[in-house]
């Protein structure tokens, strides 16, 4: 498809050599001709009006008109009243067809983890917030700003974290970042700057993410086992690490909550090792049948970096997150953020601040809690009907569950068999540091799959989950 412009473009790269001896008109003709032949100008693209190109090149308009006329005669250009001068059809080889976009196959149900309901993104509220932010945005805010992020959003986020997560949040030590990945990367680089060489992470957890960020920061990474109370602090101490990445409010992917005694033990470990805890506070907004769990950062603000984002509460595409930093680490983090990207987009920051201040963000969260709770209930009901007796854990918060498969189940074979029935399943093997296939588990995400699809998807694979395949044609 050729490019279309609402107005004729006023620029075209043509360079003239007035000392070459080649006539200037010939130079214009040659360069436009080559641009068409090589595909730099595509069929249907509009050239600048002769008057504007002449002014840009310091030539007479008549000379450019003559060059255009010659190129029209050769079949490179075509001119129509009201449409300007364009590249003629057939004047250049057609461009190579674009690669077809990669599309996920259509599935009856896709239980992919970590994805919120993308269709429920509050677009009218976000557009309202963007308009409000742009209308109120002072002229000075269009300049390069504080690499920590816009002061308005930092104040709002700190207040939100204190109110909802019981965090000890201070706007002066709050940094806006581009989601969890950048927040983790900045934190590990700051730790490396301060002499840390080894970082621990939960197992099962997010080994690929932590390892990649650690390697980029020049750190080694070591797994630490998780049990029904959360990370094993004794095993952590044995690693010799001075930093650890944890998900205390809703452990990823098992869903367990870091128990009170473990919380205190983890903080004591950090104090004894002069270490740091990196808290991934990824989906604490969504809870169902348990009391709220405060952020670990609220218990030890000098030993915890807490990373929050709107990737689960709104949408990953917004790429907005924040760090609650210990005061001793803030300057290093700010310096690294400045070097990385000079700061996150300000208009989006102000829009998020307006969303939170106006109450629209809280209203969206309430709607989504209701929606996810209904899908959670549908999942449990479907499993009870089609895979009776299967243990399901990790459902107290968030929008994923862990299904405990019968001993000896081949996760990969089950996933492949379900895919053949147009159901997307995902095993826990990818969440383990060693990619061990046992014990067999599924991580069932229900954030981006509706109630009907949840029910239909589980019904389609119930026999696979229990290890009893339906007879052919049955």
Q: With beta carbons less than 8 A apart as the criterion, state whether 125 and 355 touch.
A: yes
In the chain, DSSP finds a helix count (H) and a strand count (E) of 14, 15
Last residue of a domain, which of 338, 360, 382? 360
| Residues pairing with 79 in the sheet | 85
State whether 327 and 436 are in the same domain.
no
CATH number at residue 397: 3.90.1150.10
Query: Do residue 64 and residue 133 come from a single domain?
Result: no
Look up the CATH number of the domain holding residue 40: 1.10.10.10
List phi, psi (to 5°) of 356. -70, -45
Confidence of residue 474 (pLDDT cuts 50, 70, 90): very low
When pLDDT is averaged across residues 185-212 and rounded to a whole number, the result is 97
CB of 269 closer than 8 Å to CB of 233: yes
Domain with 144 in it: what CATH number? 3.40.640.10
Higher model confidence: residue 218 or residue 11?
A: 218
Residue 468 — very low, low, confident or very high, per pLDDT cuts 50/70/90?
low
**Is 234 a member of any domain?**
yes
pLDDT of residue 290: 62
Which residue from 251, 230, 244 is spatially nearest to 200, judged by alpha carbons? Answer: 244
Contact criterion met (CB below 8 Å) for 353 and 346 = no
**316 shares its domain with 422:** no
Indicate the average pLDDT of the chain: 92
Interhelix angle for 24-37 vs 61-73, to 10°?
Answer: 40
Residues 236 and 346 in one domain: yes
Q: What is the pLDDT of residue 9?
A: 53
Q: Note whether 267 and 141 are same-domain residues.
A: yes
List CB contacts of 113: < 8 A, sequence separation 6 or more. Answer: 253, 400, 426, 443, 444, 445
- Cβ atoms of residues 356 and 346 within 8 Å: no
**What pLDDT, on the 0 to 100 scale, is given for residue 469?**
56
Q: Are residues 384 and 332 in the same domain?
A: no
Whether residue 81 sits in one domain with residue 24? yes
pLDDT of residue 459: 97
Sorted by sequence, the CB contacts under 8 Å of residue 373 that are 6+ apart come out as: 288
Question: Which pLDDT value is given to residue 1?
Answer: 41
The answer to whether residues 186 and 276 belong to one domain is yes
Within-domain flag for 389: yes
Based on the domain organization, do 393 and 445 belong to the same domain? yes
- Establish if 180 belongs to a structural domain: yes
Average pLDDT over residues 143-163: 95
> Among the three residues 76, 103, 130, which one is the final residue of a domain in this structure?
103
Full-model pTM: 0.86
32's enclosing H/E stretch is: helix 24-37
Query: Domain for residue 474, yes or no?
Result: no
Q: How confident is the model at residue 82 (pLDDT cuts 50, 70, 90)?
A: confident
Tell me whether residue 249 is in a domain.
yes
> What is the C-alpha separation between 91 and 78, in angstroms, rounded?
10
- Which of the pair, 396 or 280, is modelled with greater confidence? 280
Q: Which of 110-119, 151-160, 288-297, 420-429 has the lowest mean pLDDT?
A: 288-297
Mean pLDDT of 271-283: 94
The answer on pLDDT for 473 being more than 60 is no
65 pLDDT more than 50: yes
Does residue 471 fall inside a structural domain?
A: no
472 inside domain: no
Is residue 351 located within the same domain as residue 398? no
389 and 256, same structural domain? no
The rounded percent of the chain whose pLDDT value lies above 90 is 84
What is the model's pLDDT at position 411? 95
Looking at the fold, whether 349 and 369 belong to one and the same domain comes out as: no
What residues make up the domain containing 440? 109-114+363-466
- What 3-state class would DSSP assign to 411? helix
Answer yes or no: is pLDDT of 268 > 70. yes
Residue where a domain terminates, one of 48, 77, 103: 103
Q: What is the mean pLDDT of residues 337-347?
A: 95
**Tens digits of residue pLDDT in 228-253:** 999 999 999 999 999 999 999 999 99
pLDDT level of residue 6 (50, 70, 90 thresholds): very low
The structural domain count of the chain equals 3
Question: What does the pLDDT average to over 399-422?
Answer: 95
Q: List all residues 6 or more positions away from 451 whose beta carbon is below 8 Å from its beta carbon.
A: 374, 375, 378
In the predicted model, is pLDDT for residue 130 greater than 50? yes
- Spatial CA neighbour of 68 closest among 83, 54, 55: 54
Has residue 473 been placed in a domain? no
């Amino acid at each position: 498809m050729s490019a279309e412009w609402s107005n004729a473009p006023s620029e075209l790269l043509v360079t003239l050599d007035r000392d070459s001896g080649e006539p200037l008109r010939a130079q214009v003709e040659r360069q436009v001709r080559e641009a068409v032949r090589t595909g730099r100008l595509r069929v249907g693209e509009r050239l600048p009006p002769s008057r504007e190109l002449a002014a840009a090149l310091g030539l007479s308009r008549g000379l450019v008109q003559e060059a255009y006329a010659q190129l029209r005669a050769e079949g490179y250009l075509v001119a129509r009243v009201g449409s300007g001068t364009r590249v003629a059809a057939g004047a250049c080889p057609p461009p190579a067809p674009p690669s077809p976009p990669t599309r996920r196959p259509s599935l009856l149900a896709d239980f992919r983890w970590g994805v919120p309901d993308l269709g429920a993104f509050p677009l009218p509220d976000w557009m309202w917030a963007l308009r409000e932010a742009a209308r109120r945005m002072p002229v000075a805010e269009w300049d390069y700003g504080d690499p920590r992020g816009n002061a308005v959003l930092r104040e709002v986020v700190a207040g939100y974290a204190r109110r909802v997560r019981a965090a000890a949040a201070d706007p002066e030590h709050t940094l806006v970042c581009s989601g969890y990945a950048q927040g983790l990367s900045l934190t590990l680089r700051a730790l490396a700057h301060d002499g840390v060489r080894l970082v621990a992470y939960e197992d099962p957890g997010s080994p690929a993410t932590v390892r990649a960020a650690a390697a980029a920061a020049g750190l080694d990474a070591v797994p630490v086992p998780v049990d029904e109370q959360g990370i094993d602090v004794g095993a952590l101490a044995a690693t010799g690490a001075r930093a650890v990445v944890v998900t205390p409010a809703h452990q990823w992917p098992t869903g367990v909550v870091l128990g009170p005694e473990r919380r205190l033990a983890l903080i004591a470990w950090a104090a004894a090792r002069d270490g740091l805890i990196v808290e991934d506070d990824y989906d604490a907004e969504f809870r169902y049948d348990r009391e709220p769990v405060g952020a670990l950062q609220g218990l030890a603000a000098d030993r915890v970096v807490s990373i929050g984002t709107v990737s689960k509460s709104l949408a990953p595409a917004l790429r907005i997150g924040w760090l609650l930093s210990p005061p001793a680490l803030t300057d290093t983090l700010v310096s690294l953020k400045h070097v990385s990207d000079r700061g996150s987009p300000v208009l989006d920051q102000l829009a998020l601040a307006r969303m939170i201040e106006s109450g629209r963000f809280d209203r969206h969260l309430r709607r989504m809690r209701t929606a996810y709770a209904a899908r959670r209930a549908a999942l449990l009901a479907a499993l009870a009907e089609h895979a009776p007796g299967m243990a399901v854990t990790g459902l107290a918060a968030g929008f994923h569950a862990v299904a405990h498969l019968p001993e000896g189940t081949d996760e990969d074979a089950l996933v492949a068999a379900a895919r053949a029935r147009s159901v997307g399943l995902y095993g826990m093997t990818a969440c383990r540091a060693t990619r061990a296939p046992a014990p067999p588990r599924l991580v069932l995400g229900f954030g981006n799959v509706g109630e009907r699809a949840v029910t239909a998807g589980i019904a389609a694979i119930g026999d696979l989950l229990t290890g009893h395949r339906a007879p052919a044609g049955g």
